Structures are given as structure tokens and as C-alpha cells.
Amino acid sequence: MGVVWEKLQLGQVGSKILFITENEEFVNNMRLPSTSYHLKGLSHRDCWSLLRQVSNLEAVASGQTKAQLEEVGMQIAAKLEGLPLAARVVGSLLCSNVNLNYWRMILNADVWKSKPEELYNISPALLLSY
């Protein structure tokens, strides 16, 4: 905390600093005048839209295969908890392999069944990329 504070004091007058954290206690301990913004996740529709765009589904699939991929993709999007980063990461994975069996493998991966504390509070979607 001390190192962070020293770095903050080096800023120019009028400078702004943005902390992005899930730990509100950290911000409160900084004892700085601040405004907190509590961000909500994307709606399922928006999450699916982002996942679809990043997976490049429109360009790589057609016909019945596209419909099947869309169905699986929407189910995957529901698991992303509205997290835009998760949608981008998983969308990139799906883009690299536009195969229905692969998409189903991602949908049914064991990591989705894990409890947050088992994953050190890391989103299952992000762990899929490792």
C-alpha cells in the first residue's frame, strides 16, 4: 500500500487515477476522495452478441452447422456471467476452431462446474484459455 501511495503522490495537479477492483476495502483504505462506479455485467443478449462477433461465426459458418453453432454458442454465453473479457476470450477460442464438437467440448468443460474458490476466484472462461 505504501508503494502505491508514493506513486500516487508523483502525479501532476489535476491528474486522475482509475482503480479497477472488486475489492472495495482496498479503495476505502486509500482514504482518497473518490467516486465509485459499480459496473454490471452485460445482458445475455449483449454477451451473446459480443461472443458471436469475436468468434467470427458469420464469416465461417453457414446453414445447419451455423444454426447448431449458434445454439451451442448461446449456451456458452449464458455461462459467461455477463463478463465482456470472458466473452472476448472464449470467442477467440471458438474462432480458432469452428467445429461443432469443439464448441460442445467448451460448453461441457469441467471448469464450468468448479466453485469460485477452487479457481482462486478466476472466471472459468479465462481459465479455458490456458
Residue 79 confidence class, pLDDT cut points 50, 70, 90? very high
Letter for the amino acid at 19?
A: F
Summarize the chain as % helix, strand, coil (round to 5). Answer: 60, 0, 40
What are 31-78's pLDDT values in tens digits?
Answer: 766 677 778 899 999 999 999 999 998 877 777 788 999 999 999 999
Which amino acid makes up residue 2? G
**Integer Cα distance of 120 and 72 in angstroms:** 27
pTM of the model: 0.74
